[in-house]
Homo-oligomer: A and B are copies of this chain.
Amino acid sequence: MRLAELSESSGVAVATLKYYLREGLLHPGRAVSRTQADYDETHVERVRLVRALSEVGGLPLATIGRVLEVITTPGQDRITVLETAQRALVGGRDDGADPAGGAGPGPDRGPRASAWLEARGWQIHPSDPLIDELERAWAACDDVGLGLDEQRLSEYADHVEAIGRIDVDSVPPDPEGAVRQVVLGTVLVDPVLSALRRLAHQHISVSRAMGREPRTR
């Protein structure tokens, strides 16, 4: 199909597709003349993937580029690739964060988060950047007085660990499929869980207001 048809099939503007092509987020089509190329289903799929990572996952295009590179390099060792994929994602959320911001951790790597993780017995490499991410998100809750202490974090973690087990169980055995599932699952399931959490709040509040469910504490 021509670029205009790819645009129609994917719902993405031709100008945006040209931008994806220039940035290497979309692989070139098969040249049919000096100015025209032919695109196929692999292009439709790729455009859909870039859109999902960008619009729903909120990843900036630079991060998407890194993620695609990891996903599409064949014949890699499974564990290496999973680690690389996780690393490509860290800090990649387009949340307007200022990396030099004041809410971040000090020179120690997430001291409170590290202590909590150790007490919980989770196997995490001490220099894993996710520790800083947890520290930063936790500190933001403290800054506004949300009352999120170690105990409530542990209660959350019990349920998040169960969610993580569902995720890990869904990872297929082949390396390419595994990387795809890990990266896309990490980025695209978060918005699903976020919507579910807000819907759960509504359901629980309504149930309690109607006296159908007592406060549990």
Residues of A within 8 A of B (CB): 10-12, 48-49, 51-52, 54-58, 60, 79, 82, 86, 89, 93-98, 101-103, 117, 122-125, 128, 130-131, 133-134, 136-138, 140-141, 143-144, 146-148, 152-153, 155-157, 159-170, 180-182, 184-186, 188-210, 215-217
Grouping DSSP codes into helix (H, G, I), strand (E, B) and loop, the A interface class, with mixed when no group exceeds half, is: helix
Measured CA separation A19–B184 after assembly (Å): 37
For A48, A56, A209, the residue with the greatest tally of chain B CB atoms inside 10 Å of its CB is A56
Copies in the complex: 2
Measured CA separation A207–B165 after assembly (Å): 11
By a CB distance below 8 angstroms, the chain B residues around A182 are 201
Supply 11 A–B pairs (Cβ within 8 Å), ascending by A: A51-B103, A58-B58, A58-B96, A122-B200, A123-B202, A124-B202, A133-B191, A137-B191, A137-B195, A152-B170, A165-B204
Q: Are A101 and B168 in contact (CB under 8 A)?
A: no
By a CB distance below 8 angstroms, the chain B residues around A210 are 123
A105 → B minimal CB distance (Å): 12
Q: Are B190 and A194 in contact (CB under 8 A)?
A: yes
By a CB distance below 8 angstroms, the chain B residues around A186 are 197-198, 201
> Contacts A117-B199, A204-B161 known; A156 to B192 CB distance under 8 Å?
yes
Among B117, B166, B191, contact of A156 (Cβ-Cβ < 8 Å): B166
Measured CA separation A122–B189 after assembly (Å): 20
Shortest beta-carbon contacts, A-B, top 3: A11-B102, A164-B200, A58-B95
Among B93, B157, B185, contact of A200 (Cβ-Cβ < 8 Å): B157
Output the nearest chain B residue to A181 by Cβ-Cβ distance.
B146
By a CB distance below 8 angstroms, the chain B residues around A138 are 192
Q: Are A205 and B82 in contact (CB under 8 A)?
A: yes
